Amino acid sequence: MITRPRTPSGAAGRSRADNEPTVDASHDRSGSCAAPSAAATGAPAAYETSAGYDMSVEYQVPADYEAADYEAELPDLDRILRDPTEPTLFFQPVVDLQRGVIAGYEALARFHSHPAVSPDRVFAAAVRRGLAAELEARVLASALAARDHLPDRCFLAVNVLPHLLGEPELTQVWRGADLRRIVLELNETDDLDDAVELAAITSELRDRGAFIAMDDVGSGYAGLRQIARVRPDFVKLDRSLVVNIDDDQVKIALTELVGGFASRLNGWVIAEGVERTDELAMLVALGIPLGQGFLLGRPAPQWQQLDAGVARRLRQLSERTNRAASIESLMEQVTVSIGDSGRCAMSADCPSCPMRSASGPGEATPEEGDDQQNLRATIIVSNRCRPVALHMSGGGSELRRMPTTLFARPEEPVTEVARRAMTRSRASRFDPVIIVTEMGRPLGLVRMESLMLRLAELST
């Protein structure tokens, strides 16, 4: 595990401007409270770790605690593992930067028996002693229990070292479990060279409803290679790319590169460590869909709501940078079928779905008033409601089956979706675009004829 010290705000020596709003972490709307600041407690600066145990909550340390003692102290792993309540979880919001709402949370491990020892040091010690799998299993089990109390239409991300996914301690937790709304974050700096085994495990995890995220992309040379191997559903930009991105053309170009690569694989990008409003404005302008950091919300022991001022600011930024109508304005409602994928799971977190009123097993009944064009398009989904194919009428009575080659969220600009569509292979370039929720469930489709006509309108 790699640990990098950073300042709690205004990284790289830049201070927060006087006119920049701050998030009051001491009182959020859920009633939870963040820990006192490092300056107030004498604690060392916050840490973040490439393994995802983000030390974005400062720890209260006794006033007479010496820095030398902090450096020398090692966690008592035996004591931690004897305590069934260790570790506890804190939750940091992951925010939809375009709509100004919380899209999910990341679960962060905390050790109440070792308030002066950062979690990344605990996990590093566990790795050295060969106990990392047992500790990771506890975190995943706690995250699964917490997932059952998630707010509606939110996901819960939890970090796990990819080489431990196949260890007995972890497989005992996830194999056979319902992993819906769980995002498993894999660290790209870890050795993922055994691509065959990892692909098999991630495939099984996805079959059980999990999403896969690649963490800390941009912190290592192998980022794009690892994305190509894992094909993640989420890509997390490392804090090193986000800090001062508003004043660095190289970081802007790299962010666009990673974002474009991820979007071609139908993955969502999450920017980590957002702490300044100028960084936030640039990320929104670049079309980065999701963000996480002190400015958007600090970790808390309970689910917290997004600060009203931050939500308002995000909506203003989004409106300012959205030069074209959203793709949702072109969306057609279509029928949905599970095809030969078995019985629909019909999760309670699904959006309004025509399958709930299906007249037959696995087939939706079109609502009265649907036009003939809509009746000729059917989205085929897996039993977890992930789009896998399309049935389209070619103008006659026969339906043509085609794979799904591009997903888009409802709020994405028409121009951005068109750009992505035109980078597809020649054979699929003019296939319809599937509109999906944050959780990947289908809402409808957009035909390329409609998209081209809208682009023509915008150009006049």
Q: What is the pLDDT of residues 51-70, one digit of tens each?
A: 344 433 333 344 444 444 44
Q: In what order do the strands lie in the sheet with 433-436?
A: 407-408, 433-436, 442-446
Helix (H, G, I), strand (E, B) or coil at 436: strand
pLDDT attached to residue 225: 75
Distance CA 404, CA 384 (A): 16
pLDDT attached to residue 188: 52
User: Which amino acid appears at position 247 of this protein?
Assistant: D
Report pLDDT digits (tens) over 7-21: 223 333 333 333 333
Q: What pairs with residue 445 in β-bridges?
A: 332, 434
CATH number for the domain running over 327-459: 3.10.580.10
The three-state DSSP-derived secondary structure of 361-397 is CCECCCCCCCCHHHHCEEEEECCCCCEEEEEEECCCC
pLDDT attached to residue 8: 28
Half-sphere exposure of 280 (CA within 13 A, CB side): 29
pLDDT attached to residue 114: 86
Distance CA 170, CA 112 (A): 23
pLDDT attached to residue 60: 39
pLDDT attached to residue 223: 65
Are 336 and 381 in contact by the 8 Å Cβ rule? The answer is yes
Superfamily of domain 18-321: EAL domain (3.20.20.450)
Domains 18-321 and 327-459 share a fold: no
String of DSSP letters for 317-331: HHHHH--S-BGGGGP
pLDDT attached to residue 344: 60
Q: Among candidates 351, 300, 274, which has minimal Cα distance to 29?
A: 300
What residue ranges of the chain have pLDDT lower than 70?
1-73, 188-195, 218-223, 321-325, 339-375, 394-398, 458-460
Q: Among candidates 151, 180, 142, 185, which has minimal Cα distance to 303?
A: 151
pLDDT attached to residue 368: 40
pLDDT attached to residue 399: 72
pLDDT attached to residue 256: 86
pLDDT attached to residue 386: 85
The three-state DSSP-derived secondary structure of 31-44 is CCCCCCCHHHHCCC
Q: Domain limits of the chain?
A: 18-321, 327-459
